[in-house]
Amino acid sequence: MGTARTIGRTAASIAGAVVAAGAMTAAALGGAALIDFQTPSYLPQMAMGTLIVAIAALALWAAGSRRLPEWSRTIAGLLAPAAGSAIHQSFLLYGTNHYLNGVGGDQLNRVAYMGRFASSPALADAFYKDAAPFYPAGWFWIGGRIADLVGVPAWEFYKPFAIFTMALAASFAFLAWRALAGSRIAVPLALSTAAVGLVLAAYEPYSWLFIALLPAVAVWAQRIAEPRYLAYTGVFLGLAAITYTLIAAIGVVIVTSGAAISFARTPRDGRGTRLRIVASWVAAGIVSALIALLFWTPYLLAVLRGDGHERSVATDFAPEDAAQWPLPMLSGTGLVLMSIAGLVWLAWTVGGAVRGRGEGAGASSPEIVRIAFALAIMVLAGYAWFALSGLRAITGSTLLPFRLTPVITLAFACAGVFALREAWRRARAWGEANDRGPQVAALAVALGAVIVVHAAQSVSEEDAEFSDKARSAPGEPTAVVEAISDVTGGAEPKDLVVLSDDTSLYMFHPYWAFQAPAAAYAAPTGEYEKRNGLIEGWSKATSGRELAGALHGGEFPGPDVLVLTPEKGSDGEVWAYDEVVNTMPLKGNIRQVPIEFDPEIFADESMFHVEHAGGRVVIGVR
């Protein structure tokens, strides 16, 4: 009965968070759409900051008031962080249907992936028709199926679904912290979580959904011998594995570290407890592996069969921020004060506990010490990942450490909330003892206002740039899409393989790509380099019959349509395809090489149907 009640309460809490995040997202997007801002301007950002400050102030008042009932803090915790997150993004992306970065960079791959699952629920790669998928599909599958259900094009649904996801992460954070530390402090912790996510992780909302829960996971790991926390941990790691592999990997490190701390802090005569910890750690691993197989089975089977396979080059990506260890306490964001306070609190509390001096200054309960250890684990695991990535750089690759900057910053920010609470308690006690209560209260309100305002109006340079790109993103290449339909007799996009360097085609319609837009987005089983070699070989064909035979007779399903660009060559007009050559980890990441085709090769109408549209040549292969 107890287990059933726990499951029921957990399900009800999750449902409440989903409803709260959905309502706040709808309200924020709807409210922003009703306002007629002049653009481009900073007017949306000005309104955004004011609204978020007001919402945060009300939520913090509700959390701190001793006159309000408990349910008011639950409402504040579920709604306020989600509302702040949704308002921030809705107003930042005012005037566009696109999410951050529009149709550029990683968003091309992500939106195309969601579009794939909007066209069919079958597990598949974003681009290759015949390749076992390699990039976890969990979040994209859900988004694609909902887009199909509500009848909204996937590229248009991506923005509200991403905003909803960020809001949901904030609501989930409140629920997790309420269970760990109580609702009063859970409200500011959830607000801090939302602030960190908006500054550092909005470009990858599906990763933030899991990062936001890592503090709770680190606490669960220290109690993994209890069945409830074993289940929570195993399910979390499994869902992370089918959504974002890197977060699953750092999650395993954090869970193992938490379980090891619990093992080490168990008295020597507690052999039975230690055995339960080890057995539970193994059981959590089994649970997570079973969930992970929901996505990874096709890829593992392809590897075991010996199917064609190339090394994934995604980890060769080495941007500037991967070379710099994150120090949020010295950054220019609104999280500086929180991070400084968090660093001090972590060092003091964990240091005191390790030295055996109770639970550390200001941390009188085992629960607080457990939380301090959890946040310290996150910090140390994140920095260890950076260190290992630095060593791997010697081999010419990385561990993508910059993706863990939000993990480290979140830990410091959450620790900062506990630090400020402890400082307030001590200052209030001193003020009451020395008849300085009003002065202490005024100082606390002023400091809190500075932190809230600074955090509420923080917009990263990257997000500011990406929001501008979203507003200026080109629309659907309608003329080319219509020409593709014409040369294929009206075939559905999901039934066609297309070769084109106009990668926006795959974002707006679920065409299969003969070649992925870049090696970083290509599934290893798709054999990106081999496909580039085939395309180069096609350009050397001396007749239409030779080319048609090569297109139909290769080891991969050949393209039904080629979309090329007319260009002036040395001997007249040529039709070109820009081949993308991977150059990571070099700066720039890629190099484009034009592959030229002789237009005369496509002259035979029995083999090719040619149309000119939108500055392109669209060639249907009969």
Q: What local confidence, expressed as pLDDT, does residue 356 receive?
A: 67
pLDDT score at 469: 93
CB of 484 within 8 A of CB of 498?
yes
**Least confident segment among 212-216, 334-338, 366-370:** 334-338
Give residue 538's pLDDT. Answer: 96
On whether the CB atoms of residues 373 and 263 are closer than 8 A, the answer is no
- Confidence label for 2 from pLDDT (cuts 50, 70 and 90): low
For 186, 283, 348, 434, the CA distances from 373, given in Å and listed in that order, are 18, 23, 11, 34
Share the mean pLDDT of the chain: 93
Q: How far apart are CA 244 and CA 518, in angstroms?
A: 20
Do residues 48 and 91 make contact, with C-beta atoms less than 8 angstroms apart? yes
Q: What is the pLDDT of residue 360?
A: 40
The answer to whether 140 and 80 are in contact (CB under 8 A) is: no
Answer yes or no: is pLDDT of 553 > 50: yes
Q: 161 or 475: which carries more pLDDT confidence?
A: 161
Which residues have C-beta within 8 Å of that of residue 143, sequence separation ≥ 6?
114, 117, 154, 157, 158, 161
In the block, tokens 């504040």 appear at 76
Task: Report the candidate in 252, 257, 260, 214 with the shortest Cα–Cα distance to residue 234.
Answer: 252
Owner of token pair 């923005």: 159
- For residues 607 and 104, the model is more confident at 607
C-alpha gyration radius of the chain: 27
Q: What is the identity of the amino acid at 59?
A: A
State residue 413's pLDDT score: 96
d(CA 371, CA 468): 39
pLDDT score, position 185: 97
Phi, psi torsion values for 127, nearest 5 degrees: -120, -45
User: What are the tens digits of pLDDT across the range 225-277?
Assistant: 999 999 999 999 999 999 999 999 999 999 999 999 999 988 877 788 899 99
The rounded percent of the chain whose pLDDT value lies above 90 is 81
- Over 60: is that where the pLDDT of 362 sits? no
pLDDT mean over 441-463: 88
Poorest-confidence range of 6-10, 129-133, 399-403, 550-554? Answer: 6-10
Please state the φ and ψ torsions of residue 417, each to the nearest 5 degrees.
-65, -45
Q: Scan for tokens 């209030």, then name that residue.
A: 428
**How much is the pLDDT for 361?**
43
Q: Per-residue pLDDT tens for 299-347? A: 999 999 999 999 999 999 999 989 999 999 888 666 888 999 999 999 9
Average pLDDT of span 593-605: 94
> What per-residue confidence (pLDDT) applies to 268?
77
**pLDDT value of position 363:** 42
Interatomic CA distance for residues 301 and 240, integer angstroms:
21
Question: What is the 3-state secondary structure of 467-505?
Answer: HHHHHCCCCCCHHHHHHHHHHCCCCCHHHCEEEECCCHH
Residue 1 has pLDDT above 60, yes or no: no
Q: How far is CA 350 from the centre of its chain?
A: 30
**Model pLDDT, residue 359:** 44
What is the C-alpha separation between 152 and 158, in angstroms, rounded? 10
Centroid of chain to Cα 176: 19
Q: Which of 129-143, 167-181, 350-364, 608-622 has the lowest mean pLDDT?
A: 350-364
pLDDT above 90 for 7: no
Per-residue confidence at 220, pLDDT binned at 50, 70, 90? Answer: very high
pLDDT tens for 35-76 read: 988 878 889 999 999 999 999 999 999 999 989 999 999 999
Cα–Cα distance between 622 and 606 in angstroms, integer? 7
Average the pLDDT over each of 263-267, 410-414, 600-604 and give the range with the smallest value: 263-267
Residue 242: CB atoms within 10 Å: 20
Contact criterion met (CB below 8 Å) for 259 and 281: yes
